[in-house]
Amino acid sequence: MKKQSCKKRQQTGSSSHSKKKKQVKKQNSPKSSSGQKNTQNKYQLPVTCGYKEGVLYLKKYYDKQKCIFSEEQWFKPTEFERFGMKEKNKKWRTSILCSGIPLQKLIEDGFLSASTFKKSSVQDAKKRKSYEGLQKQESHEKIEDNKDDDDEDEDEDDAIDMSVFEGPVLPVTCGSDSGILHKYRFSTGRCRRCIRTEDFWLTPEDFIRLNKPDGTWKKDIVSHGMPLGKLIKKRVLEPHAVNCDCEICQEPDQNQLNDDVCFVCNSDGELLCCDECPRAFHSRCHLPAPDGDSHGSQWSCTFCVMKKMDSSSQRTQEDVLSSPVSQYTLHCQYLLLHLLHESKTDLCANAPGYSENICGPMMLGRVRMNLENNDYQTVQEFITAIEYVFHHCTANRVIK
């Protein structure tokens, strides 16, 4: 049983829910001896360099002070690199790790700013003085270039209607592939599968790796023409802290492989998850109803079963329509599941002549009940019932 609850999730309007998983049961979080959950100070990061361990204090880091405390001493990152016997690297951002991740990666993902810690040696002072004129010139040129770039970016941003980024999901693209990013699932680039494609739930880094291996997710994953990096700056997306301990960030990867709501009714609860695709269903919503023992074994939904069926039948349409429903029960269930899913979207409401006084899902529910009771003798009778629903849902009626 999986339960998701997080302040970030609640802010996006998604409620807490429980979700049944066959593959894994969520383990209880480790607790300290006092019975409270063991959490890390969000203003401190555990870091290592070589065989040395320490704690990076973010406030001191942003103030460009000695910010790493190790073995009763304070160090700047450049000094801690030497302390860890990694001075040959001369790149403290890659030499110093946080939970095995280089600080450079955290900087690229927006969790740390690119602070500069310069060595205070006499030689460095002489170099700074000798190249002072050149640096001023280059700095001036960079400022002008950055100003021009910022002006161009602002002009581009002004042309985009920010209201398109409201709501719990964002359509995203990378190259020729597309998906839907769910805000409540978004955490960082490397963890939390927040992008739903047709076949998978992926992290932003997984999504970029499949479509543009040499790209970066902040620049190359785009929503409505705007890269995710800019959406983070505009606070449309809010990354979690690198040491965040909320349930969203601590959730096992196996629990992120399937949808959080039922594919048919689009609501949460106890869900049965397909082992071949991302879909999940309430047992009462799926067709056919799952066996009682399917909760503890491998299970495939009707959509995946249909994919594996041989579709090379030579029968004509007339032959199929006149056949007994019993020969095409799975096909009828497959069609009905598709229609029940679509009836919960906005597509029906946009159909010409659609009337809100006619409840499509309710009428499809009646068709489902008749199918389960074997009330249709032939495939033609089943299709006629479906056409009857379409006729009434798209009839030109006055909407009050």
Residue of 110, 47, 115 lying closest to 57 (CA atoms):
47
Q: What are the residues whose beta carbons fall under 8 Å from the beta carbon of 306, sequence distance 6 or more?
A: 330, 331, 334
- The residue-averaged pLDDT of 341-358 equals 57
CA distance 209 to 216: 9
More confident residue, 58 or 130: 58
pLDDT at 296: 62
Q: Which of 93-102, 268-277, 288-297, 365-374 has the lowest mean pLDDT?
A: 288-297
Which domains are assigned to the chain? 44-111 (3.10.390.10), 165-249 (3.10.390.10), 317-396 (1.20.920.10)
Cβ pair 258, 271 in contact under 8 A? yes
Surface-to-core class of residue 138, CB atoms within 10 Å of its CB (0-12 exposed, 13-18 middle, 19+ buried):
exposed
266-301: pLDDT as tens digits: 888 899 999 999 999 999 999 998 876 655 678 999
Q: Are 141 and 155 in contact (CB under 8 A)?
A: no
Mean pLDDT to the nearest integer, 42-47? 83
Residue 18: band (very low, low, confident or very high) from pLDDT cuts 50, 70, 90: very low
The SS3 of residue 323 is coil
Q: What is the pLDDT of residue 112?
A: 77
Residue 169: how many other CB atoms lie within 10 Å: 15
% of the chain beyond a pLDDT of 90: 30
Cα 103 from Cα 47, distance rounded (Å): 9
Structure confidence at residue 158 (pLDDT): 57
pLDDT attached to residue 228? 92
Using 50, 70 and 90 to split pLDDT, how confident is the model at 60? Answer: confident
Q: What is the pLDDT of residues 125-175, one digit of tens each?
A: 444 454 455 455 445 544 454 554 455 455 555 567 788 898 899 999 998
Determine the pLDDT at residue 170.
94
Which residues, other chains included, contact 333 with Cβ-Cβ below 8 Å and sequence gap of 6+? 287, 288, 302, 371
What is residue 90's predicted lDDT score, i.e. its pLDDT?
77
Largest interatomic CA distance in the chain = 94
More confident residue, 395 or 205: 205
